[in-house]
């Protein structure tokens, strides 16, 4: 127990003394995941809406595919994107591998199916009278879809937060596509894995505390919005 307490004390010291390495790592994690979630939302929410509202051949197949993509192991996404971005790959000429941009691409791929699927679920559970109500009041189909989105806004927010939770806590993509470069692509999760394996348990714990704080803040924010 002494070891754990000592490590916790050192971790708190690192946080309170504003250790630049800890804060740099936290910042990298946050900005990479924040940019990724914006793009994943732009892709995932309309996709979820289109699948939910649309009636087209192969819709069930698309939904099954979406469910499968939700469970994709992060290292598999990392591996596939690595293949595309590596020097020999089709996008190798852009030199994106081991940059924050590569991590953002990987995280967009991870978060988009989650956001689309949760949006679809929110839509399926929504009141079937919303769209006819909008149409009979003179709305176009697009305007009706916007109203639908407003009415299921809490479900959509939950979808975005679930997507963010997945990517802020993932290791595979950040490790394989970012390369865990100190001060550049090192995120909280890759740093925890690395520092703990080096025996720097307290440093890992400090980052772990930050990760939990991020999760807590996001949930508090969601609760705040739902109570408004």
Partner 1 sequence: MTPILSLRSIEMRYNKHLALQLEKLDFSAQHIYSLVGPNGCGKSTLLQIAALLLKPTKGQILFDGEQVLWKKNTLQRLRQNITLVHQSPYLLSRSVRHNVAYGLKIRGIDSKEQHRLTHSTLELVGLSGFGRRNARELSGGEQQRVAIARALVLQPRLLLLDEPTSNMDRASIEAFDRLMPTLVEQGMTIIQATHAPDPAQRQYSTIIHMEDGRLA
For residue 125, the minimal CB distance to partner 1 (Å) is 14
Question: Is residue 141 close enough to count as binding partner 1 by CB under 8 A?
Answer: yes
Q: Where are the beta strands (DSSP E) in the chain?
A: none
User: Based on CB atoms, which residue is closest to partner 1, 64 or 136?
Assistant: 136
Whichever of 43 and 147 has its CB closer to partner 1, that residue is 147
> In the block, which residue shows the tokens 């030199």?
95
Report the residue count for the chain.
228
Sign of dihedral through CA atoms 213, 176, 63, 146? positive
Per CB under 8 A, does 137 bind partner 1? yes
- CA–CA dist 62, 221 (Å, integer): 32
Separation of alpha carbons 204 and 11, rounded Å: 8
Cβ-based nearer residue to partner 1, 61 or 125: 125
CB-side neighbour CA atoms (13 Å) of 125: 10
Distances (CA, A) of 155 to 118, 127, 149, 227: 7, 13, 9, 14
Minimum CB–partner distance for residue 158 and partner 1 (Å): 16
C-beta of 47: minimal distance to partner 1 in Å?
A: 21
Contact track, partner 1, 93-132, x by CB under 8 A: ----------------------------------x-xx-x
- Token couple for 25: 């790592």
By beta-carbon proximity to partner 1, the closer residue of 128 and 197 is 128
Q: What gap in Å lies between CA 182 and CA 124, rounded to an integer?
A: 44
Task: Closer to partner 1 by CB, 108 or 152: give it.
Answer: 152
Q: Does the footprint of partner 1 cover residue 54 (CB under 8 A)? A: no
Tell me which residues touch partner 1 (CB under 8 A): 127, 129-130, 132-133, 135-141, 143, 147, 150-151
């Amino acid at each position: 127990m002494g070891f754990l307490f000592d490590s916790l004390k050192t971790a708190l010291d690192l946080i309170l003394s504003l250790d630049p390495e800890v804060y740099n790592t936290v910042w990298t994690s946050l900005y990479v995941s924040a940019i990724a979630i914006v793009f994943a939302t732009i892709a995932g929410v309309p996709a979820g809406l289109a699948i939910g509202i649309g009636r087209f051949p192969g819709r069930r197949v698309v939904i099954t595919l979406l469910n499968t993509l939700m469970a994709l192991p992060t290292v598999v996404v990392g591996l596939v994107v690595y293949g595309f971005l590596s020097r020999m790959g089709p996008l190798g000429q852009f030199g994106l591998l081991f940059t924050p941009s590569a991590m953002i691409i990987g995280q967009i791929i991870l978060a988009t199916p989650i956001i689309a699927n949760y949006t679809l679920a929110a839509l399926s559970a929504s009141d079937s009278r919303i769209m006819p109500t909008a149409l009979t009041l003179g709305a176009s189909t697009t305007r009706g879809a916007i109203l639908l989105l407003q009415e299921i806004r809490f479900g959509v927010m939950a979808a975005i937060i679930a997507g963010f939770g997945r990517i802020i806590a993932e290791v595979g993509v950040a490790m394989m596509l970012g390369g865990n470069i100190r001060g550049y692509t090192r995120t909280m999760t890759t740093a925890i894995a690395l520092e703990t394996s080096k025996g720097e348990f307290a440093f890992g714990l400090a980052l772990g505390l930050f990760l939990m704080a991020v999760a807590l803040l996001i949930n508090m924010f969601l609760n705040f919005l739902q109570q408004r």
